[in-house]
Amino acid sequence: MATQILAEARTPATSVPDPRDALAVALDFPAAAQALAFVDRLDNTCRWFKVGMELFYAAGAPLVQALRARGFEVFLDLKLHDIPNTVAGAVRSVTQTGASLLTIHAAGGERMMRAAAEAALAPGSPRLLAVTVLTSIDAEDLAATGVSAPPAEQVLRLAHLAQQSGVTGMVCSPLEVAVLRAALAPGTKLVIPGIRPAGSTSDDQRRTATPASAIRDGASLLVVGRPITQASDPAAAAASILGEIAAAL
């Protein structure tokens, strides 16, 4: 069934992007063995995998290199946030892993992001993504941190700051995709977590949308975790989402 759905997802004309380039599966596992076993269950349905803090802190660079050796692209979601020199050093270290994307926090400010962007100019460096406002945060949460602006306004403010700092990719919730696509430079990569297929639960995400709506609004890459990793048939679940993406491209 998964093979049939995936074949349908690949049916658009060759001028239409491959939907597999628009989906990253979040490997939210505590150990490399579990993560790689899950990757095997997907049976090459997907091309991109997100490695977050939980898995990277447990498995480190060898896990990223193992995924790259299998031909996959890796989105390393470390959300770096520290003084400029420390973040720049971390970017240089990550370059050795072969990851294609790396997140930093836009809230770290212009000097931090500029230092990271300069470090990422080295050959083989990952493309940087500035995390704006986490999808688990709503207006009440922002207010508690002293930010009176609504999430959408804060996302736009931080995205402009990141762009001015030399960062050409952003992470935002699905609700801000259209605004950022219209406001930022052409070619800006918009990576979107908080994606939930129709009928699925939102879990701990507050600002969510379906794959099709996020793609239509201008998303570059969708990040999906539990709707795939907790499915009884992960390959079929991934293929179904790829079908939604293909229909929206």
CATH of the domain at 132: 3.20.20.70
Is 189 annotated as catalytic? no
pLDDT of 206: 55
- Domain count within the chain: 1
Residues 6 or more apart whose Cβ sits within 8 Å of residue 222: 22, 23, 24, 192, 195, 211, 214, 215, 241, 245
Domain with 173, as residue range(s), is: 18-136+147-248
pLDDT of 8: 42
Cα distances from 241 to residues 25, 106, 165, 174, 223, in angstroms, run: 11, 29, 34, 15, 11
pLDDT of 32: 98
Upper half-sphere CA count for residue 203 (Cβ side, 13 Å): 15
> Tens-digit pLDDT profile for the chain (249 aa)?
444 444 444 433 334 479 999 999 999 999 999 999 999 999 999 999 999 999 999 999 999 999 999 999 999 999 999 999 999 999 999 998 999 999 999 999 999 999 999 999 999 999 999 999 998 898 999 999 999 999 999 999 999 999 999 999 999 999 999 999 999 999 999 999 989 886 565 554 555 689 999 999 999 999 999 999 999 999 999 999 999 999 998
In a domain, 13, yes or no: no
In a domain, 12, yes or no: no
In a domain, 3, yes or no: no
Residue 169, phi then psi, degrees to nearest 5: -140, 150
Residue whose tokens read 């050409």 = 168
pLDDT of 135: 86
In a domain, 7, yes or no: no
In a domain, 64, yes or no: yes
pLDDT of 7: 43
Upper half-sphere CA count for residue 156 (Cβ side, 13 Å): 13
pLDDT of 10: 40
pLDDT of 203: 54
In a domain, 77, yes or no: yes
pLDDT of 209: 82
Residues 6 or more apart whose Cβ sits within 8 Å of residue 196: 202, 205, 208, 209, 210, 227
**Which one from 79, 81, 114, 216 is the annotated catalytic residue?**
79
In a domain, 58, yes or no: yes
Residue whose tokens read 């995205």 = 159
In a domain, 121, yes or no: yes
pLDDT of 172: 95
